Amino acid sequence: MSSTFTHSFQTDLFTGKVNFPTGVFINGEWRAGGDKTTIDIINPTTGQLLTAISEGTAKDVDLAVEAAQKAFDTVWGSTLPEANVAEYWARKTFSDAKRFDIPESARVIRYYAGWADKNHGKVLETSEAVLGYTRHEPIGVVGQIIPWNFPLLMFAWKVGPALATGNTIVMKPSELTPLTALRVTQLGVEAGIPPGVLNIVTGYGKTVGHAISSHPSIEKVAFTGSTLVGREIMVQAAKSNLKNVTLELGGKSPNIIFEDADLNIAVEWATIGIFFNHGQTCCAGSRIYVQESIYEKFEQKFLERIKQIKLGDPLREGVNQGPQVCEQQFNRIMSYIDDGKKSGAKAIIGGKRHGTEGYFIEPTIFTDTTNDMRIVREEIFGPVGVLVKFKDEEDIIKVANDTVYGLAAAVFSQNISRALSVGHRLKAGTVWVNCCNQLFAQIPFGGFKQSGIGRELGEYAIANYTAVKSVIVRI
C-alpha cells in the first residue's frame, strides 16, 4: 500500500468485521488519488456520511493505462488467463451473501472462467495451396465504466469477459456505490490476479470517465448507464482514437398482460418488474399494459399486492424496498411524480415520500395517462409505473414500440403462440414470456434503438473483447 494512502472502510455486515482500502488501485497498489482529495459516500437509508473514497484524476487514469499495458504485454495478453483464479475469486468473494446480485455475480465469473480456453478461431477452406485461419486476439487495455444500481453484478458482467479473453482493465465504478468494486478487487488480489491486470480509478464521470473514454491508448470502452451519458462517451471515443464502444443504456420496458394470462402470476411479476431494486433497474417494466376485459380485476389485485411491499432499511429481514441511491436521484424521481400529477395523470397508489429520514419513495402507479406524458415516455429509474388499457394485439404492438428505447419487454399469456408472435414483433433486445427481469450468464442482454450497442453476457459478450485476425499461408 502506498504510504500516502490512509483511507479505509470497516463494516461488519453479513460476515463479521471487514476492513478494506478506499483508494484508487493501480498496478497492484492502493494509493491516494493524484490530487489527494476525497469523495464522501452517503448512506441513502439515513442520509448520513458512511465513509470517504479517493477522488481519482486524469493523471491516475494515465498511470492505470500504463500499468495495464505493461501487464498485457508481459503476463496476461500473451497467455491464456487462469480459470482457477476466477473460480477461487468467485468462491472467496461471494460465498456468504444472500442477495440477488451476489450469487448471480458468482455465476457470471465462473461462467467466463470456463471461456478462458474456448475462444477459438476457425480454419477456413480456400484451396489445397492455401491455409487460412482466424485468431481471436485480446484487444489490449480496455476501459470499463459501471453504474450504481447493481455495483457487484455490473462489475462481474464487465470483468468476466474482458479477463477471460486476455485483456487488462481500467475501471471506473460509480462514485455513489464504489465500495463493492474496491472490496472485490482486494479479494481478486488475494485470488492471484497479477499487478496491472485490473486497475480501479474511483472518481467523477466528468474527470475519470472522460479520461477513460477519450484515452488514446485504450482501444475499447464499455459503459452501462444513461442514454445521455452513453452519447457523450461515443463522442469522446470518436474524437480520440475511434475506440470500439459497447453501451448498455436506458429503457422504458412495456409489460403486456393479455386477457388469457394467469392473473395471479401476472400481478406478481408486474410487481417485481417495476419495484425490484426500488425501481432502479434499466429493464424495469414501467409501462404496464392490461387488456380491457381484465383491466379492473388486474388493477384491484395489483394494488392489493403493492400494499404488501414493506419499505425500510434493506439490510433488515422482511424489507422489500429500500431507499433511492442518493438525494439527487430522490429529487429527480419526485419531480417526475409531480409532473405526472400536473399533467392530469392520477396516482392511484403512492406518489409521496416515505418517512422523514433517508431517500425513500412510496411505490407509485399512475393511471389516466396519455402517451405524450413524460412519465410514460421518459425513463424515471425509480418505483414509478403507469397502468394503461389496450384493446388487441395490433393496438398493443403499436403502442409498446412507440418509444426511443428498446431494452426489454414482457408478455403474459397462457397462449404460447400468441405470446411468441407478439414477442417477436416487439422492438426489444430481451423479451420475457410469463416472467420478467430474468437474467442468466449464458443469455445475452442488451438493447435495440437508443437502449444500447452490443451485448453483455453469454458468448456474444466475448466478441466485444476480441479482435479477429485472418492469417493466410501459401503452402
Residues with a known catalytic role: 248
Q: Quick one: pLDDT at residue 103?
A: 86
Burial of 274 from C-beta contacts in 10 A (0-12 / 13-18 / 19+):
buried
The position carrying cell 498511470 is 63
For each successive 10 residues of the chain (475 residues), what is the average pLDDT?
56 66 95 95 94 96 98 84 66 52 89 92 93 96 97 96 96 96 92 94 98 98 97 97 97 98 98 96 97 98 97 89 95 98 98 95 98 97 98 96 98 98 98 97 97 97 96 95
CA-CA distance, 120 to 1, in Å (whole number)? 39
Q: Quick one: pLDDT at residue 77?
A: 75
pLDDT digits 0-9 by tens, 363-391: 999 999 999 999 999 999 999 999 999 99
CA-CA distance, 29 to 19, in Å (whole number)? 16
Please name the CATH architecture into which domain 254-440 falls.
3-Layer(aba) Sandwich (3.40)
Q: Quick one: pLDDT at residue 91?
A: 60
Cα 28 versus chain centre, distance: 26
Q: Quick one: pLDDT at residue 93?
A: 52
For residue 384, how many other CB atoms are within 10 A of its CB? 26
Write the DSSP string, 220-251: EEEEES-HHHHHHHHHHHHHHT--EEEEE---
CA-CA distance, 85 to 113, in Å (whole number)? 8
Contacts of 27 (CB under 8 A, 6+ apart): 63, 64, 67, 70, 71, 195, 196, 199
Superfamily per CATH, domain 8-249+452-474: Aldehyde Dehydrogenase; Chain A, domain 1 (3.40.605.10)
Domain ranges of the chain: 8-249+452-474, 254-440
The region, left, alpha or beta by phi > 0 then psi within -120 to 50, assigned to residue 140 is left
pLDDT digits 0-9 by tens, 176-216: 999 999 999 999 988 889 999 999 999 999 999 999 999 99
